[in-house]
Amino acid sequence: MSLTSLKNKINKRVRISDYRSDFQEIGSFIKKKRKELNVTQDRISNGICSISYLSKIENNQIVPNEFYVKEIMSKLEVNESFFQKTLDDKLYLNNMIKGIFFLDDELVNDTFKEVEDIENNLVINLVKLGYYVYFNIEDDNQYVMMLENLVTNMNDLELLSYLYFSSIYFISKEKFKTTLEILFLCNKISINNDYLEALISENSYLAKQRLLKKNCSHDDFKNAKEVYNKYHNIKRVVNLSLWEAHYLTEENPEKAIIIVKKIKESLQDVYLHDFYCLVKAKILMAFNYYKDSVLSLNKISNDSNFFYQKMILLYSICKIDNDQGMLEEIKILLQDYNPDKFQLKHKVFYHYLLLNNEEDLKEYLRDIAIPYSIEIDDYYGLKKYTRDVMDICINTSRYKEATQYYKKYQKELDKVDRLMFT
């Protein structure tokens, strides 16, 4: 994706006076057609619905019942086949958004199966993109790139959906600065959709936290949580709260543990349960409650997505306790373990833990850990590794070299500042 090209297309985007733009929103089409025929709302709604209901349909304030749409279209002398496809396409997209919003795997899967064989359709391709990024399937890339060329043909709902789905894609690639740039473009779109606005706010919160822009992320967190609570979306509320606790662990573990205590394990699915145990273990470790931390980690199963992180945290605790026996056992267990690409950040940290010699550690931080943290926009890791390498330099009286590492770190922070305030 070319961000410059995408920005230009959105900035120059205008509605085209054909079916793709005006008619995509059923309400807009009804209103335009009625005015073309020079008939009143009273005449069209008579015998079908109230005038106020028709007014809400025309202003896209409600999703109308299909029966009413067909009756209204009949009075407007519009052939049913002309608008039925539009209704179906919009329903598919709304169902995909709803499935992602509620983390409803079944709805996401079922919606995809209904459109899987449909080709050369912008809205259907958007639905497919939503499916691919939700389940992190490799085919997502072709749809992100292909749909970028069709931005000018999208209505507001489609464009907002495309930008949100693209943000998920770039988060999965650990390109958080790019994610944030894409999410900033959402501000140019005037449409009210609670589901998408909350999901966009959540991704914005996660991206800003990852880039250490904590103060700028508070409104995003608040907006997302308010909508999740409004729709009783417990899964999203719990997941968002766990991320909040995770990011607070280092700077404010007291607040983080309060958040975790409010979360009821009985409300969690397997993924959220394991995430909960991992976050809780990290917080307990911050309080030096190592035994309690181990107990929490032991609740994470060996086939969990968090298994690798669990073992690395156990290794950290054993290293603090100088438990050589357990350290060797964990090394043996992990020596043949191949983490997927989403866990490479943790692999880098694990190898960092394995090093004891100061010069070897410094070389590893300089050549591997710091460059990789920059590559994947992991500013938490960058901050830690920069601090550690500076400590080594200062301990060996290499003050100028320590300053150089600090300047490099500050240079990365400045990139985010320019992104945030341009």
pLDDT per residue over 13-59, tens digit each?
Answer: 644 333 333 344 678 778 888 999 999 999 999 999 999 999 988 88
* 102 and 220, same domain (yes or no): yes
Is 345 contained in some domain? no
Q: Give CA–CA dist 143/136, Å, rounded.
A: 13
Q: Please report which helix (H) or strand (E) contains residue 204, including its range.
A: helix 194-210
Is 243 contained in some domain? yes
* 132 and 194, same domain (yes or no): yes
Tell me how many domains the chain contains.
3
The count of other CB atoms within 10 Å of the CB of residue 287 is 13
Instruction: Select the highest-mean-pLDDT range: 70-79, 149-158, 310-319.
Output: 310-319
Closest by CA to 164, choosing from 145, 185, 149, 150, is 185
* 220 and 238, same domain (yes or no): no
* 191 and 274, same domain (yes or no): no
- Contact, 115 vs 91, CB < 8 A? no
Give Cα separations from 292 to 259, 297, 417 (angstroms).
Answer: 17, 9, 39
Is 344 contained in some domain? no
Q: Give CA–CA dist 66/57, Å, rounded.
A: 11
Sign of CA dihedral 345, 347, 353, 354: negative
Q: What pLDDT score was predicted for residue 16?
A: 39
- Contact, 169 vs 144, CB < 8 A? yes
CA 291 to chain centre: 33
Q: What pLDDT score was predicted for residue 20?
A: 38
Region of 357 on the Ramachandran plot (φ > 0 left; ψ -120 to 50 alpha; else beta): beta
pLDDT per residue over 218-254, tens digit each?
Answer: 999 999 999 999 999 999 999 999 999 999 998 999 9
Q: What pLDDT score was predicted for residue 21?
A: 39
Q: Which domain holds residue 396?
A: 355-422
Q: Which of 3-7, 19-23, 201-205, 305-309 has the lowest mean pLDDT?
A: 19-23
Q: What pLDDT score was predicted for residue 40?
A: 94
Q: Please report which helix (H) or strand (E) contains residue 147, including its range.
A: helix 140-148
Whether the pLDDT of residue 378 is over 70: the answer is yes
CA 408 to chain centre: 28
pLDDT per residue over 59-94, tens digit each?
Answer: 877 767 778 888 898 888 877 666 666 667 888 999
Domain boundary among 314, 339, 364: 339
Burial class (CB in 10 A: 0-12, 13-18, 19+), 48: middle
Residue 398's pLDDT band (boundaries 50, 70, 90)? Answer: very high
Is 180 contained in some domain? yes
Residues in the chain: 422
* 26 and 161, same domain (yes or no): yes
* 315 and 180, same domain (yes or no): no
Domain boundary among 305, 339, 373: 339
* 374 and 421, same domain (yes or no): yes
Closest by CA to 212, choosing from 347, 365, 344, 373, is 373
Name the more confident of 170 and 192.
170
Whether the pLDDT of residue 148 is over 60: the answer is yes
CA 33 to chain centre: 39
CA 332 to chain centre: 35
The two three-digit tokens of residue 135, written as one number: 């389940």
Is 349 contained in some domain? no
- Contact, 183 vs 7, CB < 8 A? no
One-letter amino acid of 214: K
What is the pTM (predicted TM-score) of this model? 0.83
One-letter amino acid of 271: Y
Is 46 contained in some domain? yes
- Contact, 26 vs 90, CB < 8 A? yes
Domain boundary among 232, 253, 276: 232
The CATH number of the domain holding residue 128 is 1.25.40
* 128 and 209, same domain (yes or no): yes
* 335 and 368, same domain (yes or no): no
Is 348 contained in some domain? no
Q: What pLDDT score was predicted for residue 143?
A: 82
* 128 and 238, same domain (yes or no): no
Is 347 contained in some domain? no
The count of other CB atoms within 10 Å of the CB of residue 382 is 23
Burial class (CB in 10 A: 0-12, 13-18, 19+), 289: middle
* 157 and 252, same domain (yes or no): no
Burial class (CB in 10 A: 0-12, 13-18, 19+), 413: middle
* 107 and 188, same domain (yes or no): yes
